[in-house]
Structure 1
């Protein structure tokens, strides 16, 4: 989910803490637990700081180790200890529980969008992405935002937040049912589908679809359960040559391949150099595939420049290729 949604969910989790009589009758403990759940709901996204280094590091590691099992345990213990020391009272058990809940809920809800997380590390490095909720879902955000004033002004915060989470669970179940229906409709229209990648949009009736068969990628949109295919690409493996071997060692290319399960490639000669372009098919706009990785090679098969990230015009991409290396 986005930062704003994690923030308001942190507030409503703090509201749930007031269900404990000990918390509801202690304004100071209630306030510090609220601060705890707000901080805990943000901690796993601390890897956003990797953007300051480069896109490759961010793409490769965002929602990776910081959303893993060891990270959840680490964030929980650190936050619990810090908040206990700040309050200077023997309420460590409360902080341990609500820190764990806030961090865990953050990681859990991130599993349901198309980006996903590596939540099972170190058991598995597989990206888990259920693809039933948009990264920003206005309905989920609105539900929790409505609960914020009830929590901040202590107006039946526990009861209100219980209702919010019950409604949210029902909403998730509905979205899961919708995803299954979408997959069924795609398989009815396209023969011999191996896998269907679903990217929900801000409108819960609209989905971006990539359906793969053994021979082709089918890219389209589903609106009100009607599928329209916009592009069809042949599935071909990357060629084996000196340029590709060099590209597979490049940080930007490696980050793209680690993150993108469905893509096409283009290899071309332009103005005295060779160029490899990898294009992720999951994030198509109306006219553009913005998530790419590009590497340029000289005649000696050395990489001149490379880039990976979201780009919405060729001009900006070429500027990035000049500055990235």
Structure 2
């Protein structure tokens, strides 16, 4: 989820904690729990600081080990030690429990969008993305706002947020069922066995999809049940040029993150350009469609890597060309 929703969930859990009679009877513990749940709801995303090491490091590590099973205990323990050192609590087990719940909830809800996490690591060293909830969901955020207004109006925060989280749980179930139905609609439209990935958007009735069959990739959208195929790409055997470009460390980070990738090779005056595109992120700029998340490698005629780029392109091919040109000039 987005940062704002994680913050809202942190405060929402602080309200839910009033169902715990020990928390409800101790203003000091309630304050400590609120600090702990708010920090705990954000802590796993502190791995975003790895962006300082570049885009390739960010996409390889963000929502990776920081969202793993061992990290649940490490984040919870670190936050608990910090709060306990600043404002010691006799009922420390209650504080630790609510912090742990906040960290777990952060990782759990992140599993449901298209970016996903390595939430099952080390038991499974793959990204898990359930593709049911958009990165920012207005309904979930609005439900928390209703809870905060009820709390401010004098309603019991524990009972209020218990009801709200039951409603949100039902909402998650409903979205998962809609996602399954949409997957079957796309499967029926394409009519071939393969891997089907349905991706949520801000709209409840609009989805995008990527499908991989034995011979093709299909990219399209589903609008109120109407399935449209927008792009089709043939799947080709890996060439010698592509194999050489894959040795680039940035490309390896890119391919470790996504499995919805189509690769294109072009001959250029300097040699070759190899471009991988993440088919999940199709967009339009100035009337032309393009894929925003890419990895590009330039090679000389002897297949030596000249330069490379991994990242987001929001304004089409011209922006990508400028980025690579500026890299060459800086080099």
Length-normalised TM-score, structure 1 = 0.95
Question: 212-221 or 266-275, which moves further after superposition?
Answer: 266-275
Matching of residue 247 in structure 1 with residue 249 in structure 2: no
C-alpha contact 1:55 1:308 (8 A) present in aligned 2: yes
Deviation at 1:308, TM superposition (A): 1.1
Q: CA RMSD in A?
A: 1.6
SS of 1:17's partner is helix
Match of 2:320 among 317, 321, 325: 317
Mapping of residues 1-325 of structure 1, within 5 Å: 1-151=1-151, 155-239=155-239, 241=240, 243-286=241-284, 287-312=289-314, 313-323=316-326
Instruction: Write out per-residue CA displacement over residues 170-225 of structure 1, whole angstroms, 9 at most, x where no aligned residue.
Output: 00110011011111111211112311111100001110011221111111100101
C-alpha contact 2:277 2:294 (8 A) present in aligned 1: yes
Structure 2: how far apart are the matches of 1:244 and 1:231? 22
Unaligned runs of at least 5 residues, structure 1? none
Length-normalised TM-score, structure 2 = 0.93
C-alpha contact 2:64 2:119 (8 A) present in aligned 1: yes
Deviation at 1:150, TM superposition (A): 4.0
C-alpha contact 2:270 2:299 (8 A) present in aligned 1: no
Structure 1: how far apart are the matches of 2:274 and 2:306? 12
SS of 1:31's partner is helix
Structure 1: how far apart are the matches of 2:54 and 2:153? 42
Structure 1: how far apart are the matches of 2:269 and 2:159? 66
Structure 2: how far apart are the matches of 1:323 and 1:68? 37
SS of 2:310's partner is strand
Structure 2: how far apart are the matches of 1:229 and 1:113? 22
Unaligned runs of at least 5 residues, structure 2? none
C-alpha contact 2:299 2:307 (8 A) present in aligned 1: yes
